[in-house]
Amino acid sequence: MNPSMTPVFAVAYDSVHTVLRSSSWSRDKLEDFQSRRLRALFRHALKNVPFYRDLYARHGLSADNVRGVEDLERIPLALRAEMQELPASGLVAQGVNPDSLVVHRTSGSTGYLFRTYRSRFEDRLLQGLRLKLEFELGLRLTDLRVAVTVHGHPSRGEKPDAHFYNRLGWLRRPTVDCLLPAKEILDHVAELRPDVLTGYPDALSWIGGEATEEHRRGIRPRLIFTGGETLTPDMRRQISDCFAAPVYDFYGMHEFNLLASQCPQTGLYHVAEDSAIVEVLKDGKPAACGETGEVVATALHSFAMPFIRYWTGDLATRGPRRCPCGAPCATLEGIRGRVIDRFTLPDGTKLHPYHLLDPLVKQAPWLRRYQIVQPSVDRVVVKIVPLPGRTPGHDDLQRLRAGLQRPLGSEVSLIFEMVSELPPAGNGKFRPYSSLVGGNSRT
């Protein structure tokens, strides 16, 4: 990299170079890039981002304390609960107008509501890194990718060039709403005849179990990509058997876009180390191979809103330092993220909890965290942790009740519980949705 470049242009050049060349990097080259980028991110955040400036000041850190990945453990964890309470001005780098950034608002499916801000360059870069992996798995530029996902995802400002690509017949990606009845989803997908089928594991395995022979003949993708929830072995088998195509799983989240992708040879997950540093911590220390711990990640291309040693709330099992397939990247043996329970209603309908997300997001701007539990078919309990100083009043709860009652139906009793915290389940993993109705809950 030319030392005469301005810092902003130097970072951009380094990032583009990563997209183009990282596939051929050695382990030493990869670690050199991570150290260089971590050092730049740490100094940038310390100087320009109020949240990190205050966090690092409390721990007595200065710009010279972090030289590379060997100093990673010196950096305190950034907790989402603390970041969530701050306005954009406390999280975005000074001098950057939040209104000019691409905003990805989480759907709330993890039990948290949170906004991530990225520059358009950063957003395109992360999309490019993900596409590069998909191309390596067999995606073609002219493939029709059909996504079975939630329609109208709450993001702002992304993909202004989608129409340009669509006119060329490139990177087409129509969506089918995963909250429709299974037959309608299958009919829509069969009509589109995708080359690549993508979506939530739960949704794809569900429609796979409902598919008729006519659907199976009409839906013959060459590849299937899953993500957004935990892909269990039975889900993988159901999806692969129904659609007769290999299934490749991706592990990501809005804050990072992509953290790991599944190796087609070994089944392990390749950590996207040209995009993020991923740590698995057990009792605060790096987990050994085969041990399960908490996922902490650092986004190597996010300067507008940095994520440095960010506690994700996910659990993962650490894999070998290098994948046996020969790739130089570290691996994860498995990700213990979200497994979604559907709620069984009194009439026998299986309701996906994402039906409840829209009213939660729209009717409860005061909401910090939530958990929805179904103890019986006619009773649903919503546990609520409000933002500090934003305790909802009677009218707030009535508006939320009206929004949630519609998808649940009048026969289901809806109960609100105001709590100060929501502990994880017995396995240490927080579950935002849980049905205790017999035969429904999965682990």
Kindly report, residue by residue over 71-112, the tens digit of the pLDDT. Answer: 999 999 998 878 988 899 999 999 999 999 999 876 555 556
Given a contact cutoff of 8 angstroms between Cβ atoms, the answer to whether 111 and 432 are in contact is: yes
What's the CA gap between 24 and 16, in Å, rounded? 14
Query: Residue 60: what are its φ and ψ, rounded to 5°?
Result: 65, 30
- 226, β-bridge pairs: 199, 249
Q: Is 251 helix (H, G, I), strand (E, B) or coil?
A: strand
Q: Does 254 score more than 80 pLDDT? A: yes
Query: Residue 198: what are its φ and ψ, rounded to 5°?
Result: -130, 160
Given a contact cutoff of 8 angstroms between Cβ atoms, the answer to whether 249 and 226 are in contact is: yes
pLDDT digits (tens, 9 = 90+) for 266-304: 999 999 999 999 999 988 899 999 998 889 999 999 999
Query: Residue 299: what are its φ and ψ, rounded to 5°?
Result: -85, 115
What's the CA gap between 279 and 75, in Å, rounded? 13
Structure confidence at residue 306 as a pLDDT band (50, 70, 90)? very high
Given a contact cutoff of 8 angstroms between Cβ atoms, the answer to whether 334 and 280 are in contact is: no
- Give the CA count within 13 Å in the CB-facing half-sphere of 219: 30
User: Residue length, the chain?
Assistant: 443
Q: Does 404 score more than 50 pLDDT? A: yes
Lowest-confidence region among 179-183, 217-221, 236-240, 412-416: 179-183
Q: Which residue reads 């690509």 in tokens?
A: 165
* 342 compared with 345, residue with greater pLDDT: 345
Mean pLDDT of 16-26: 69
Q: What mean pLDDT is reported for the chain?
A: 85
State the pLDDT at residue 14. Answer: 66
Structure confidence at residue 428 as a pLDDT band (50, 70, 90)? very low
State the pLDDT at residue 8. Answer: 56
Q: Residues near 119 by Cβ (< 8 Å), separated by ≥ 6?
A: 96, 100, 101, 102, 303, 304
pTM listed for this prediction: 0.75
Closest among 199, 229, 200, 155 to 433, alpha carbons compared: 229
What's the CA gap between 45 and 293, in Å, rounded? 26
Q: What share of the chain is helix, strand, coil (3-state, %, to 5)?
A: 35, 25, 40
pLDDT digits (tens, 9 = 90+) for 195-205: 999 998 888 98
Amino acid in the structure at residue 298? T
What's the CA gap between 26 and 376, in Å, rounded? 55
Closest among 288, 293, 407, 286 to 342, alpha carbons compared: 407
What's the CA gap between 217 and 220, in Å, rounded? 7
Query: Which percentage of the chain shows pLDDT scores above 90?
Result: 54
State the pLDDT at residue 340. Answer: 65
